[in-house]
A and B are shown apart, each in its own frame.
Chain A
C-alpha cells in the first residue's frame, strides 16, 4: 500500500492477443504528469504510432482515475477516457463522473489501457483475484443501461458490487459521436471515443476491486475537505426558477459585466443543476440557437419557459452525486412514456435538443435524453446534427426525399424525435447524421458545408463563442477543440486563481463588456492559464464545478501536496500542466493536424456579425488570439506547433 494517493501501477490489455499485463510506474512519472489526463497524455504520446487509424488496432484507449480520486478530497471522483479521436483525428479525451473512477483505483491501477482489436465482443473483468477478458456476446446489442444491469448482476462476487463502463449500440455501430456510459447513463461523451471502444469490440469494463487508496496525510486532507465543504453547504432559501431568465436578461442589457463569483453559480447548481441555465443562458446570449444563426429574438422567455429549471426539479426523485461530491448537481428524474426514469438532462442536452433545433417540448427532451444515454450517443453532437439537417432542409439542400419524409422544419418535435430514433438505429436518413456533422457534410455534399458549425471535426458546445471570446479561443485552440469544459473568460473569473498564484491577471469586480473583445493579449494569457488549470483538474480527477468555487475555497493544489507528500507551489503545478498540454499539442502535430485549421466555424465567431440579439455586432479576432496563446506555451506563433526540442525536453524530464 503506497501512502501517496496513487496506486503505482497501470494495466495493459492487448485485445488482439488477449494478453493482460501490469506495468509498475516509478514515482517520477506521477511527479511529472500527476495522473488522469496527464498520465494518459504521457503514455499515449509515444505509444500510439504517428498516423495510426483511430479505429484500428494501433489506437490505444485508456481509462484513468484522477490522482486525487479516493484520497478523501472532495469533488474528485471523475475519470478520463483517452485515445486518438476518430472525430478530430487528433488527441481525444472525454471526462465523466459517476462512481467508476475510484473503482479503477480499487483494482490497484491508475489507468487501464486497451490496444488491438478483439475478434469477438469481449469485456474486461477485474477484481482482487481475477483479471480476464470475457465473452460479451450476451450483452452485445443491449443498451447501456441494460448492459450495466446485466453485468452487475452476473459478475457480482463476494465483496464489492462491480462498477461498469460500457458502450451502447451507438458505440457498437462505431458512431463517431458515441461515448462511454457509467452509472446508468453518465457519459464520457465527447471526442467519439465510444467508437474507438466499439472498433475494438470491447463492450465493457467491469471492475470490482477493493484495494484501499491511502493519502500521505489523511488529517490534512480532511482539514482541507472540511473547509471546502463549508462553502458548498451554504445555501440560501427562496431561490426560485422564474427569477433566472430575468437575471439573464439583466446581464444582457447592462453594458458592464459584474464579475461572477462561483459561489452564486454553486447555489444554482445545488438547487437545480446545470439546467439552472436553461433560461438564463439564452437570455444573456450564452446559448447558440437555431443552429447558431438565431438569437434571443427567436427564443424569447415564452419559448424557453417550457424548460424553466423548476420543471426539472419537480420531477426529480432524488439528487444525484458523483463519487466524493458534496454538491450533487445531478438528479434522477421520473419521465413519462417508454422509460420511467432518466438522469436529469443537462443544460447542454436541453439546449442542443431544444433551442438549437427550436424545440420547445421538454417532455420530448427527457425521452431523447434517455434514448441517447442508452444508445451511448453524445447529446451535444446529436443535437447539432439535427439542427444542421434542419437548416439544410430550410435552405433546400435536402428535401423530404432525403429525409425519409420527415418534415424537418424548425421546432418540429415529432420529426426531431423520429430522426433521433433513426440516428440511433442508423436507419435511412438517420445514418447520414449518425456520425456527426462533419460526416454528414461529406454524405450530403459540399453545398451543406455553410451550415455546419464545427471545431476541428467536433461539434462545439452550447455556449456561444460570440458572447465570451474565451469560449471562442478554447473551441479553436485546444488539442481537443470545441469543448466548453476547458476554459472561458467566465471560468477564469470564477477560478479566482489570482488568489493563490502570484503575478497573474486579476479581474476587477466590474468591467466594460466591450473590453473583453479588445484585449487580445489578455485573453490569450488568461486562456493559457485556464488550459493549464483545467489540465490539472483533469489530471487529478476533479470536477470543474468544484473548481468554480474559487481556488481559495477549493484547495486543489494543497490537496495534491497532502495526498502525495510532495511540497510544490501552485506555479510548479501549472508548469507541469503546461508540459502535459504541450504533449497533447505535439500528439496532434505528430498525427498530422494543423493547429491553425481546427478553429471553430466562422459563424460561431461572428463572421458575418449577427444583426440582432445579445451578440449583435460582435465578432472575434480569433487568429491573433490563437497566435498569442501559442506564444504563452512557447509554441511556434505562426503554426502553433511545439518545437521538437521542446517536446524532447519534456520527455527527457520524465
Chain B
C-alpha cells in the first residue's frame, strides 16, 4: 500500500523535497515516482503537489493544501504520560521532549519547529492515550496558551504560590523590625583619607585589605595606602580574589588574616573583593561553620570584625547590602550568604577611583545597579523607604550611565553612578531582587558570565514576563526616570520602560543573548534559579518551571 503519482505530474520536484523518507523521487520536468517499499503514506507529497498528480492508496486524488493550513499536533499535558512514542513515530523528528513541568519532574513532548512538521498526524494516531489532537497552527498556539493558564491555575500550584506569598509577607515584616544598618557613607573625592582617620579614631590597627590583582596593578590603592601609613595604621594586602570569588579565595584570605593577626578588614574593589572580604570576616568569627553552611539567610552567627568598604565599580551595591555571593567551582554553583551582620561600618564612595573603569565594566556594573533598583521596586515587599531609594537610583542611572560609558572621565556622572549603586543596594537589600538575579547567578556559576552582563541581558526578558503584573510600578518608574509624564496610560509607560532598558543595552553594546548558554543545561538552571528565588523573592509574578524554561531558552544565541 502506498501513494502513487499519475501522468499529470509536471516534475516540479515539490514532493521530493517534502517526502520524509525519500520515497518520492524523479528527474526535474519528468514524471515522478514513489517507491512503494519506502512510502509510509504520510500524504505530504499530495498536500504539496500543484498538479493534483498524487493519488493515495485507495486511488483518490490527494488534495493540495496551503502549508499554513496543515494541521499540527497539540499535546494535552493532562493526558500525556511522556512515553515518547510520538517522538519515535514522527518521520521528520520534529518532536522533542521539553522541560520538566509543574506537574512532576518528567519531560513532555513538544514540537520544536512547526515548520518541519508535515502534518501527517502519525503522532496523534499512535499516541496510546490519545493525548494529541491535530489542529492548525493558530489553534494549537491558542490551546497551548490555555493549557498554560490552566496549569498555572491548578490547585497544587496555587497552594505553592500561596505558601510563597505568606513566607514573603512574614519576611517583609521581619525586615521592618530587624536592625538593618546603613553604613556611614563618606562621599566625594578624597574621602579615602577620611576613612583612615576614622579607622584611627576607632583605635584599630593592623588591617587586612582585600582586593584584586588588576586594581593593584592599576595602583588604584596607592591613595589608601598613603593615608593609612600617614595615620600609622599597619596593613596587609590580600589580592588573590578572582572575579566571582570562590570558597578557596575566602579560605586563602582567612589564612592571611590569621597569620598576620589582623583586627579589621577593608574590602577594596568591585563586588568580588568586597563579597570575599565579607565572608573572610564571617569565617574568622565563625570558624566552625563552613562557607557552604552559611548559604542562605541569617547563617552568620557571630558578627564579623570591623569592616569597611571602598567600591570601585558602581553596580553591586555590596557596600550596603546584607549579601555576599560566593562560587563553588566544583559544582559551578553560585550562592548567596545573607545576613545583616555583613553590612560594613563605613562605605567610601569615591568617584575618582572609578575613573579608570573600562567602558564594558562600567556598563555592565551599571546595569547591575539598575537591575537592583528595578527588581526591588517591582517586588511586593517594598516599603516607602526602599521605593524612594529605588526611584532615586533609577533616575540617576538613566541620566548618567550612558554618559559615563561614553566618557569615563566625567567625574560628576561617576559620582552619580556611585550614589545610584548605593541607593539601589539600600533598596534591594530590604526588598530583595528577583528572577533576573536568580537566573543570572547561574550564568555566572555555569559559564562565568560577568554578573552585571548577565543581568543586563536578562532584565528585559523578565520584565516582559511580568509586565502585566508590574505595570503600575513600571509606569511609575518610567515617570520618575524621566521617560514619561504622569497621566499617560500605564500600559504604554510600562512598555516604554522596557524599551528604554533595551535601548540602553543596545547603545552600550550589550548583546541580547548569552553566548555560552547550552540548551541541555536549561533544566538545571531552572531548578537552581527556583531554589534561589522561591520562596523568598517577592516577585510580582511567580514563574512556573515551564515559564522559566521558556524564558531561559529565549536567551540562547540562536533562539
Determine whether the beta carbon of B527 is less than 8 Å from that of A317.
yes
Taking CB atoms, residues of chain A closer than 8 Å to B104 are 235, 319
Taking CB atoms, residues of chain B closer than 8 Å to A516 are none
Determine whether the beta carbon of A328 is less than 8 Å from that of B128.
no
- Report how far A1 CA is from B88 CA in the complex, Å: 18
User: Which stretch in A29-37, A40-48, A221-229, A496-504 binds the other chain?
Assistant: A221-229
- Report how far A313 CA is from B105 CA in the complex, Å: 9
Determine whether the beta carbon of A318 is less than 8 Å from that of B22.
no
Taking CB atoms, residues of chain B closer than 8 Å to A70 are 88-89
Determine whether the beta carbon of A102 is less than 8 Å from that of B105.
no
| A316 interface residue (CB < 8 Å to B) | yes
| B217 interface residue (CB < 8 Å to A) | no
A321 to chain B minimum Cβ distance, whole angstroms, is 5
Determine whether the beta carbon of B523 is less than 8 Å from that of A1.
no
- Report how far A102 CA is from B85 CA in the complex, Å: 9
Name the contact of B523 in the complex, choosing from A225, A318, A321, A328 (C-beta under 8 A): A318
| B84 interface residue (CB < 8 Å to A) | yes
B492-541, CB < 8 A from A: 520, 523-524, 527
B1-44, CB < 8 A from A: 1, 20-23, 38, 40-41
Taking CB atoms, residues of chain A closer than 8 Å to B100 are 317-319
Determine whether the beta carbon of B22 is less than 8 Å from that of A129.
yes
Known: A159-B21, A225-B129, A318-B105. A211 touches B83 (CB 8 A): no
12 contacts between A and B (CB under 8 A): A99-B87, A99-B88, A106-B88, A128-B21, A161-B93, A222-B128, A225-B128, A233-B81, A318-B97, A318-B523, A323-B85, A334-B524
| B461 interface residue (CB < 8 Å to A) | no
Q: Which residue of B21, B87, B104 has the most chain A CB atoms within 10 A of its CB atom?
A: B21
Name the contact of A226 in the complex, choosing from B40, B128, B330 (C-beta under 8 A): B128
What 3 A-B pairs are tightest by C-beta distance, nearest first? A225-B128, A326-B81, A319-B106
Known: A129-B38, A218-B125. A328 touches B82 (CB 8 A): yes
- Report how far A159 CA is from B128 CA in the complex, Å: 23
Taking CB atoms, residues of chain B closer than 8 Å to A336 are 330-331
Determine whether the beta carbon of B524 is less than 8 Å from that of A328.
no
Determine whether the beta carbon of B128 is less than 8 Å from that of A319.
no
| A232 interface residue (CB < 8 Å to B) | yes
Taking CB atoms, residues of chain A closer than 8 Å to B107 are 318-319
| A160 interface residue (CB < 8 Å to B) | yes
| B122 interface residue (CB < 8 Å to A) | yes
Known: A128-B38, A212-B40. A159 touches B106 (CB 8 A): no
B75 to chain A minimum Cβ distance, whole angstroms, is 14
Tally of contact residues, A, Cβ under 8 A: 43
| B99 interface residue (CB < 8 Å to A) | yes
A106-146, CB < 8 A from B: 106, 128-129
| A324 interface residue (CB < 8 Å to B) | yes
Taking CB atoms, residues of chain A closer than 8 Å to B523 are 317-318
B233-278, CB < 8 A from A: none
Determine whether the beta carbon of A323 is less than 8 Å from that of B22.
no
Known: A212-B122, A318-B107, A334-B524. A323 touches B91 (CB 8 A): no
| B92 interface residue (CB < 8 Å to A) | yes
| A325 interface residue (CB < 8 Å to B) | yes
Taking CB atoms, residues of chain B closer than 8 Å to A233 are 81
Determine whether the beta carbon of B81 is less than 8 Å from that of A229.
yes
Name the contact of A102 in the complex, choosing from B88, B92, B97, B125 (C-beta under 8 A): B88
Taking CB atoms, residues of chain A closer than 8 Å to B85 are 72, 323-324
- Report how far A313 CA is from B524 CA in the complex, Å: 13
Taking CB atoms, residues of chain A closer than 8 Å to B82 are 319, 321, 326, 328
- Residues on B facing A (Cβ under 8 Å): 1, 20-23, 38, 40-41, 81-85, 87-89, 91-93, 97, 99-100, 104-107, 122, 125-126, 128-130, 330-331, 520, 523-524, 527
Determine whether the beta carbon of A159 is less than 8 Å from that of B20.
yes
| A280 interface residue (CB < 8 Å to B) | no
Determine whether the beta carbon of A317 is less than 8 Å from that of B524.
yes
Name the contact of B21 in the complex, choosing from A102, A210, A229, A232 (C-beta under 8 A): A210
- Report how far A389 CA is from B249 CA in the complex, Å: 42
| A60 interface residue (CB < 8 Å to B) | no
A196 to chain B minimum Cβ distance, whole angstroms, is 27
A101 to chain B minimum Cβ distance, whole angstroms, is 9
Known: A128-B22, A159-B22, A211-B40. A222 touches B130 (CB 8 A): yes
A279 to chain B minimum Cβ distance, whole angstroms, is 21
Q: Which residue of chain B has its CB nearest to the CB of A335? A: B331
- Report how far A328 CA is from B82 CA in the complex, Å: 8
- Report how far A70 CA is from B125 CA in the complex, Å: 12
Q: Which residue of chain B has its CB nearest to the CB of A75? A: B83
Determine whether the beta carbon of B99 is less than 8 Å from that of A321.
no
Q: Which residue of A218, A331, A334 has the most chain B CB atoms within 10 A of its CB atom?
A: A334
- Report how far A425 CA is from B11 CA in the complex, Å: 58
Taking CB atoms, residues of chain B closer than 8 Å to A319 are 82, 100, 104-107
- Report how far A74 CA is from B82 CA in the complex, Å: 11
Taking CB atoms, residues of chain B closer than 8 Å to A159 are 20-22, 91-93
Name the contact of A221 in the complex, choosing from B38, B89, B128 (C-beta under 8 A): B128
A61-78, CB < 8 A from B: 70, 72-74
Given contacts A99-B87, A319-B82, 8 further A-B contacts (CB under 8 A): A1-B1, A72-B85, A128-B22, A212-B40, A218-B125, A324-B88, A326-B82, A334-B524
Q: Which residue of chain A has its CB nearest to the CB of B446? A: A340
Taking CB atoms, residues of chain B closer than 8 Å to A103 are 88
B145 to chain A minimum Cβ distance, whole angstroms, is 24
A329-346, CB < 8 A from B: 331, 334, 336-337, 341
Q: Which residue of chain A has its CB nearest to the CB of B520? A: A341
Taking CB atoms, residues of chain B closer than 8 Å to A649 are none
Determine whether the beta carbon of B88 is less than 8 Å from that of A323.
yes
Q: Which residue of chain B has its CB nearest to the CB of A235? A: B104
- Report how far A331 CA is from B104 CA in the complex, Å: 13
B18 to chain A minimum Cβ distance, whole angstroms, is 11
- Report how far A218 CA is from B89 CA in the complex, Å: 15
Determine whether the beta carbon of A323 is less than 8 Å from that of B84.
yes
Known: A99-B88, A212-B40, A317-B527. A229 touches B129 (CB 8 A): yes
- Report how far A316 CA is from B105 CA in the complex, Å: 8
| A158 interface residue (CB < 8 Å to B) | yes
B442 to chain A minimum Cβ distance, whole angstroms, is 13
Q: Which residue of chain B has its CB nearest to the CB of A101? A: B88
- Report how far A158 CA is from B21 CA in the complex, Å: 8
Interface string of A220-264 (1 = CB under 8 A from B): 011001100100110100000000000000000000000000000
Taking CB atoms, residues of chain B closer than 8 Å to A341 are 520
Determine whether the beta carbon of A318 is less than 8 Å from that of B106.
yes
- Report how far A319 CA is from B93 CA in the complex, Å: 21
Taking CB atoms, residues of chain B closer than 8 Å to A225 are 128-129
Determine whether the beta carbon of B38 is less than 8 Å from that of A321.
no
Taking CB atoms, residues of chain A closer than 8 Å to B20 are 158-159, 210
- Report how far A263 CA is from B512 CA in the complex, Å: 49
Determine whether the beta carbon of A99 is less than 8 Å from that of B84.
yes
- Report how far A222 CA is from B92 CA in the complex, Å: 24
Taking CB atoms, residues of chain A closer than 8 Å to B524 are 317, 334
Known: A129-B38, A226-B129. A318 touches B91 (CB 8 A): no
Taking CB atoms, residues of chain B closer than 8 Å to A73 are 128
Determine whether the beta carbon of A158 is less than 8 Å from that of B84.
no
Taking CB atoms, residues of chain A closer than 8 Å to B93 are 159-161
- Report how far A160 CA is from B527 CA in the complex, Å: 31
Q: Which residue of chain A has its CB nearest to the CB of B100? A: A318
- Report how far A336 CA is from B524 CA in the complex, Å: 13
Determine whether the beta carbon of A229 is less than 8 Å from that of B128.
yes
A612-640, CB < 8 A from B: none
Taking CB atoms, residues of chain B closer than 8 Å to A106 are 88
Q: Which residue of B22, B84, B122 has the most chain A CB atoms within 10 A of its CB atom?
A: B84
- Report how far A102 CA is from B91 CA in the complex, Å: 13
Q: Which residue of chain A has its CB nearest to the CB of B25? A: A129
Q: Which residue of B104, B122, B330 has the most chain A CB atoms within 10 A of its CB atom?
A: B104
B38 to chain A minimum Cβ distance, whole angstroms, is 5
- Report how far A159 CA is from B129 CA in the complex, Å: 25
- Report how far A641 CA is from B256 CA in the complex, Å: 78
Determine whether the beta carbon of A210 is less than 8 Å from that of B106.
no
